[in-house]
Amino acid sequence: MNNQRCGSFEYPAPLIYLGLKLLDKLRYKNYQIAITLIIGGVVLALWKPFVLIEGLQVAGLYASIALPMALILGIVGIINLAHGDFMMFGAYFAYWFTVYTGADPLVAIFPVSLGLFLIGMATYRGTIKYMHGAPELIQLLLTFGISIVLQQLANLFWTSQPVSIHVGYASASATIGTFTFGTYGFVYVAAAVILFIGLFHFLRHTRIGQAALATGQNPTGAKLVGINIDRIYLLIFSISIALVGVMSVLFLTRHSIFPHVGGIFTLKSFCLAAMAGLGNLTGILWASLILGLGESFVKSFMGYAGWADIIFFVLIIVVIMVGSYRRRVK
Amino acid sequence: MKNWRYIAYTVIIAIAILFPFYTGTYLQHTATAILIYLSLALSWDMLLRTGQMSFGIAGFFGIGGYAAALTHLKWGIDPLLSIILGGIAAFFIAFLLGLVVLHLRGMYFAIVTLALAEIFRVIVRNLHSVTGGPEGSVLPSAIFGGDPSKIYWLILAITITTILVSEVFQKTRIYFATTSIRNDELVAKSSGIDIFKYLIFVFAITSAIQGIIGSSYAHQYAFVTPEETFHIHFTLLPMAMCLLGGMYTTMGPVVGALVLGTIADYLKLQLPYGHLLVYGVVIIIVILFMPRGIVGTVRERLERGK
Amino acid sequence: MPILETKYLTKTFGGLVALNEVCFELNENEILGIIGPNGAGKTTFINVISGVYLPSSGKVVFHGKDISELPAHIRCKLGIGRTFQIVRPLQGLSLLQNVMLGSLFGRGYSLKEARKEARGICEFLGLAQIERDIAKLTVLEIKKMEIARALATKPKILFLDEVMAGLNIDETKEMIESVQKIRAQGISICVIEHVMSVIRELTERVIVLDRGEKIAEGPYEGVSDNSRVISAYLGEEE
Amino acid sequence: MKGKWAALICVVCVLIGLMGFSGWATAQKLPAGEPIKLGAVLPLGDITGAQAAKAMKLAAKEINLKGGVLGRPIEVIVMDDEMKPATGATALDKLATVDKVDVFIGGMASGVHLGQIPTLKKYAKVTVWIGAASHKVEEAVGPDSDWYFHIHPWDYLQGESYREGWTAINKKYPHIKIDNWFMAYEEGAFGTASYKMSLDLYKDWIKIKGESFKSALLGGGDYRAVLRHAKEANPDVFIWLAYEADAMGFMVQAKEIGFAPPLFIGSPPGWPAGFGKSPVSEAVTVYGMWAPAIKEVSDVSKHFLEAYTKEYKEEPITYFCPLGYANVYVVAEGIKSAGTVEKAALISALKKTEYKSPMGEIITFSPSRIIKNQGIRKQKILQYQGGEQQVIWPFEFATSKPKYPLPGWDKR
């Protein structure tokens, strides 16, 4: 009955109804933000379309690398200073794999993520496990040590000479009118979205995920209700490192790899995680989007690229300060 | 018992002061480098005692270095005076920024200090006319004409001052203030502690120390560049030393810096290739077996022994 | 004139009203009880008075002076002392050092003076072996330490937030005696308590909070017969 | 607890292995006699320093096999500077006071070398340096340091050399247009200095536009903004001044946005492994000092390449490798002709150096803008052709002709 009525003579009604419901869902403030974003996006798309496209691609890369770090930070409670170095290691594995098998680098996703899963497990079992109960900052030092070891191992095995793999599709591009842009970069956007949805689903709708969430919020409480928190930590740590492995392969397809390549991504991921707020995965997406677009915007003005870094860090400070101010006022 | 301790301190200080008379230049330089990191580690720990973890050591180190180098270069100010100016510059910048950022806690404070250090670097890099831009500025000559003994004594004096300041922080009411702020801010303010005042005070003082060390470093090597003077290892290494030695004490960072500094140098001599790898491994091993830092764990063992 | 009064004190967190226009007076050298069911806003009330939170509206008046906007550490120095519902000993400090904190900063004493003062207070409250590490204290001792720390700030008013909770009968008795001794020194005391026998024994006057509102005031016997109180508080507790 | 101990055991094994490795790497048979010690400071963690160190040891070995110098063996003692100025300076102290070396050699980054100059001046030992191109270094060394020999060309010498090169190429092949340039330079010291220097040197010669970007080495890696600006400028020549980590990114992203200038130049200190094999490398012009292809025109280079590959089972991939080799030979020949390691005699002997280097040219010393003893002044212009770097200028070393213009991205 209903379907028939909607379908026949009141056809705009369901659309309007859906729209209203959507607007209703967005709380007043979010609604404002959404409108601003849409207007900003349209203006940007007309004025400097490549800022929008490239900013989005950069944001995707940032977000997809930061998400696993946020996961470790939120649940295991460790600032993993070796985060980017795990990615570097994964990328070298992928390079190795590609050179020896001659296969497409993307095939390496499976062995590399498996390999990094095991490395993550070994790292946890061998070191981090013993850090529970020790002062939290000590874990920071531990991951710093791991970071040095990974970098130096890579330097010994593969030397500091950058390596890169050239795959034709990584420079695929599309042209609209006179405007040519790269399309492969969207793979990072896709990766970020898939990673985010996957993690979200995992944390909300699976038993292990819920247990992990509970552990992250209150380890003592989780222990009391019978969750084996050591298992959870092991699992989350290894999964995160495996996800870093997936990203490392995608990273390799477009970037040169050298032993110190990970450092800056540790830094940026840490910043993003802090900007988003502890354990806030959605926040990572927003933060990456703001930073990616902000950077691309500044760079798009000839001669101002040197200041793009400032935008990154100023935005981080502003977001954190505003957040802290709001909390204090409340 | 107490007398023994003072005698021991006197002997150690005497040995440290007389060090250049019975060692070569190389050891003096190595010792100077270790003392530089020692002071940075200690200054970091002094702020850590309030519960605030700064990732911005390199930032204030660099500000001090640039302030000293530029005042010396542009206005011909005496190197020693310019070192003090470097400290003052870091003090005031830390004070002003502290008014804003010390409302933050924990990880947020850490990130914001990290971001500030990076912002300093980018600003310095982009102000070509003042700072010399990315290529930096070269000083006409090193302080004391590059005499390693005098440089050593200068750094030693700064280090001893830092240790004294740290001890003052440990032995006076400041100790009570920082410990209670770190433990429980609610108790602290309900007991009449002006938390913000103490945080700003400690932040500015420790930043000034970092600035002074940065200034001496700039004068020792007679140049400043954004990449070298603001290098992240001036943040990470002192942190590692402090954590390895043990937090919240004067002894911890001192021991940590001496141990890590000596190991790093010894390894470099033994293993020209791959010494950094072993260095990382040593950090991991020490942490695994001494999770409270060297001083903390040893003390714990001793107490349990009692 | 009352030593402390609140005028239409309101505190909201987001949309949640924790205190709703609470008016109260505390007289010189009085022991007042504040009771109410869990979540009635008792601790929030203390927090607003001691300056942990700033009020959303209304005033806190101390000695005829509006102190609503002053930060916590200034209020402490003016003479508002407090303990905490969940004990908050400072780890890494000894018992004596914990107590010294109050005189050092609340009074601005030197280390030497503060140590002497803290020793006196510990003795006064019957705390022995004061060099012990805080981790080795019993529950009673920690609770007393909390009071001692507050006393060391030389307060004119002392808020005791459930100091009897978790103590056995003998310990409670000892604590009641201590509180009375404190009052004898001329300090006004405000006791938050769940244990009704303590309230009956200790207080001259009681105010009852429920869902952020003051619903009754008067001597304990009178209040405990009040039907609103029974339904809100006693009834709910059963 | 098991895991902890397992970790410890693993580490001990790795350690022992490393000790063995480094022992093997440093073991060397020496002829009898008190050795002449050369103290080298290099970034051993970096491929440039690592290969330069190996090449130095190779040169010392060759010299010692022929009976050494003055009947004494040559010993090269290598210290790591970890790319830190302080470490680099301390290393010099150790070499001077503990090992009591006769000559300082080595060097790579300018940033590190700036920090070493006060120490060098303190000892005023004979120093023959193969790194540090920045003119800031020359300012810091100053005119009075007659003991300082600098083999690597200063940045402005490189700039002048390329101007000479392009003028010559333009004269020989008039269809190659070089009027409008776009320079993309990395925002650090290296790129900025090169750019500023170019603006200064080339102002009466070509039209230059330029913009900075962040090198992948320092955490950048997205060059699309600067490439777009270059595309808008539509230059005859596009050049990027950065590191090897940026090489692939520049090509891929230029292809992505459809930017194919007639001349596409890169000027990193080295190139990433496998770059030549990728199709994007074809006809990319390269600034440098050396390429394996020079073996076709230089016997020394051929000998060096073969000896190095045989000794270490790896290819020399940075020009610091032949430079390091030349470094030891220059010093050894200087000592030989001086007949002593005594400072004044050695300095005057080194001033008369005429060493046929594996880079092709003959190394001699003459004054540059500030210092008295500058070695190499000329660079080379090379081009990737069929996966190999070929020399196209100087014509005396040319192994191929320039390919012009750069073929479009869709034609590869």
Q: Does B172 touch chain C (CB under 8 A)?
A: yes
Bond from prior residue into D394 cis (ω within 30 degrees of 0)? yes
Q: What integer pLDDT is reported at residue A37 of this predicted model? A: 78
| pLDDT class of A274 with cuts at 50, 70, 90 | confident
Q: What integer pLDDT is reported at residue C41 of this predicted model? A: 86
D402, D178 Cβ separation under 8 angstroms: no
Q: What is the mean pLDDT of residues A104-114?
A: 91
Chain B neighbors of A146, CB-CB under 8 A = 280, 284
pLDDT tens sequence across B128-180: 888 888 888 888 888 888 888 999 999 999 999 999 999 999 999 999 999 99
pLDDT tens sequence across B21-49: 888 888 888 899 999 999 999 999 999 99
- Rounded-to-integer distance, Cα A294 and Cα A51, Å: 9
Q: What is the mean pLDDT of residues D99-112?
A: 91
Q: Does B184 touch chain C (CB under 8 A)?
A: yes
Range among A136-145, A176-185, A260-269 rated most confident: A260-269
Q: Does B127 touch chain A (CB under 8 A)?
A: no
Count CB pairs under 8 A between chains B and D.
Answer: 132
DSSP string covering A271-319: HHHHHH-TT-HHHHHHHHHHHHHHHHHHHTSTT-GGGHHHHHHHHHHHH
Count CB pairs under 8 A between chains B and C.
Answer: 72
Report the range of poorest mean pLDDT among B14-23, B38-47, C56-65, D1-10: D1-10
Contact A130 B288 (CB under 8 A): yes
- Rounded-to-integer distance, Cα D388 and Cα A313, Å: 42
Report the range of poorest mean pLDDT among C134-143, C176-185, D13-22: D13-22
DSSP C94: B
Closest CA to D304 of C221, A65, D312: D312
CB burial of residue D164 (10 Å; 0-12, 13-18, 19+): middle
Determine which of B112, B120, B285 to mutate to test the interface with A (most A C-beta atoms within 10 Å). B112
CATH number, domain at A205?
A: 1.10.3470
Closest CA to B94 of B242, B212, B15: B212
Distance from CA of D248 to the nearest CA of B (A): 24
| pLDDT class of B123 with cuts at 50, 70, 90 | very high
Q: What is the mean pLDDT of residues A143-165?
A: 89
pLDDT tens sequence across D147-179: 999 999 998 999 999 999 999 999 999 999 999
Nearest CA in chain D to A184: D256
Closest CA to D38 of D311, D360, D335: D335
Instruction: Give this complex's ipTM.
Output: 0.85
Q: Which of B173, B186, B192 sits opposite C77 (nearest CB)?
A: B192
Distance from CA of A157 to the nearest CA of B (A): 11
Domain enclosing residue A99, as ranges: 3-329
Q: What integer pLDDT is reported at residue A111 of this predicted model? A: 93
Chain C neighbors of B51, CB-CB under 8 A = none
Q: What integer pLDDT is reported at residue D74 of this predicted model? A: 92
Q: Which of B25, B138, B146 sits opposite D114 (nearest CB)?
A: B138
Average pLDDT value for chain D: 88
Q: What is the mean pLDDT of residues D332-357?
A: 92
- Rounded-to-integer distance, Cα C140 and Cα D310, Å: 81
Contact B108 A130 (CB under 8 A): no
CB burial of residue A174 (10 Å; 0-12, 13-18, 19+): exposed
Three-state SS letters, chain D: CHHHHHHHHHHHHHHHHHHHHHHHHHCCCCCCCCCEEEEEEECCCCHHHHHHHHHHHHHHHHHHHCCCECCECEEEEEEECCCCHHHHHHHHHHHHHCCCCCEEEECCCHHHHHHHHHHHHHHCCEEEECCCCCHHHHHHHCCCCCCEEECCCCHHHHHHHHHHHHHHHHHHCCCCCCCEEEEEEECCHHHHHHHHHHHHHHCCCCEEEEEEECCHHHCCCCCHHHHHHHHHHCCCEEEEECCHHHHHHHHHHHHHCCCCCCEEEECCCECCECCCCCHHHCCCEEEECCCHHHHHCCHHHHHHHHHHHHHHCCCCCECHHHHHHHHHHHHHHHHHHHCCCCHHHHHHHHHCCCEECCCCCEECCECCCCCCEECCCCCEEEEEECCEEEEEECHHHCCCCCCCCCCCHHHC
β-pair type (D36-42, D74-80)? parallel
Q: Does A83 touch chain D (CB under 8 A)?
A: no
Distance from CA of B108 to the nearest CA of A (A): 6
Chain A neighbors of D47, CB-CB under 8 A = 159-161
Chain C neighbors of B177, CB-CB under 8 A = 105
Contact A163 D246 (CB under 8 A): no
Q: What integer pLDDT is reported at residue A26 of this predicted model? A: 54
- Rounded-to-integer distance, Cα B275 and Cα D15, Å: 10
Distance from CA of B183 to the nearest CA of C (A): 6
pLDDT tens sequence across B54-88: 999 999 999 999 999 999 999 989 999 999 999 99
The answer for D 107-136 residues in CB contact with B (under 8 A) is 111, 114-115, 117-119, 121-122, 134, 136
| pLDDT class of B96 with cuts at 50, 70, 90 | very high
Q: Bigger pLDDT: A119 or A281?
A: A119
Q: Which of B29, B141, B221 sits opposite D93 (nearest CB)?
A: B29
Q: Does D211 touch chain B (CB under 8 A)?
A: no
Tokens read off for B279: 């260095």
pLDDT tens sequence across A44-80: 777 888 888 889 999 999 999 999 999 998 888 888 9
Q: What integer pLDDT is reported at residue A9 of this predicted model? A: 42
Please state the φ and ψ torsions of residue A322, each to the nearest 5 degrees: -60, -45
| C-alpha Rg value of chain B to the nearest Å | 19
- Rounded-to-integer distance, Cα D327 and Cα C211, Å: 85
Closest CA to B79 of B218, B228, B226: B218
Please state the φ and ψ torsions of residue D275, each to the nearest 5 degrees: -65, -45
D284, A170 Cβ separation under 8 angstroms: no
Q: Which of A146, A148, A306 sits opposite B125 (nearest CB)?
A: A306
Contact D273 A162 (CB under 8 A): yes
C-beta neighbour count of B60 within 10 angstroms:
38
B196 has a pLDDT exceeding 50: yes
Q: Does A206 touch chain B (CB under 8 A)?
A: no
CB burial of residue A30 (10 Å; 0-12, 13-18, 19+): exposed
C2, C171 Cβ separation under 8 angstroms: no
Closest CA to C56 of C69, C75, C70: C69
Q: Does D26 touch chain B (CB under 8 A)?
A: yes
Q: Which of B217, B223, B288 sits opposite D140 (nearest CB)?
A: B223
Tally of domains in chain A:
1
Q: Bigger pLDDT: D314 or D24?
A: D314
Q: Does B192 touch chain C (CB under 8 A)?
A: yes
D346, D128 Cβ separation under 8 angstroms: no
Q: What is the mean pLDDT of residues D177-199?
A: 89
Q: Does B76 touch chain C (CB under 8 A)?
A: no
C6 has a pLDDT exceeding 50: yes
Q: What integer pLDDT is reported at residue B69 of this predicted model? A: 94
CA angle A258, A259, A263 (to 5 degrees): 105
Q: Which of C76, C90, C91 sits opposite B192 (nearest CB)?
A: C76
| pLDDT class of C238 with cuts at 50, 70, 90 | very low
- Rounded-to-integer distance, Cα A53 and Cα A182, Å: 9
Distance from CA of D28 to the nearest CA of A (A): 22
Answering whether pTM is above 0.90, one says no
- Please count the CA atoms within 13 angstroms of the CA of A22 that sit on its side-chain side: 8
Q: What integer pLDDT is reported at residue D5 of this predicted model? A: 65
Q: What is the mean pLDDT of residues D251-270?
A: 89
Q: What integer pLDDT is reported at residue C39 of this predicted model? A: 81
